[in-house]
Amino acid sequence: MELLYAMTTGVLTACGLYLMLRGRTFPVVVGLTLLSYAVNLFLFSMGGLTTDGPAIVSEENGYADPLPQALVLTAIVIGFAMTAFVVILAMRARSEVGNDHVDGKKEDRE
């Protein structure tokens, strides 16, 4: 299970990174979102993978580590805010520059 989880994180990371190397804004934003999924999964797994043990205090033993969860929870929300900011920036850049190339140069290289 650990191996499969790590592979998934790796594949998502690779796809996100590949998209971030593209030359147009939208794939870069999509890549960023994909990368943030991968990062969140990675961070989340730092507390180990626990089945059936949500971090709710009860009589039973064996909780999942709550700290990575708390960190990832805020990371998800902040990640959304950042994605939103970047995508609006991309829209603004397109309206100012006239194309959606990531380098923000005036001449359209299409």
Q: Whole-number minimum distance, CB 43 to other proteins, in Å?
A: 10
Per-residue CA distances from 70 to 40, 47, 73, 75, 86 (Å)? 11, 11, 5, 9, 24
Does 74 interact with other proteins (rule: CB under 8 A)?
A: yes
DSSP codes joined into one string, 64-98: PPHHHHHHHHHHHHHHHHHHHHHHHHHHHHHHHHS
Determine if 32 is a binding residue for other proteins (CB under 8 A).
Answer: no
Q: Does 41 bind other proteins (CB under 8 A)?
A: yes
Our finding on whether 60 is near other proteins (CB under 8 A) is: no
The yes or no reply on residue 97 touching other proteins (CB under 8 A) is no
Nearest distance, CB of residue 78 and other proteins, angstroms: 6
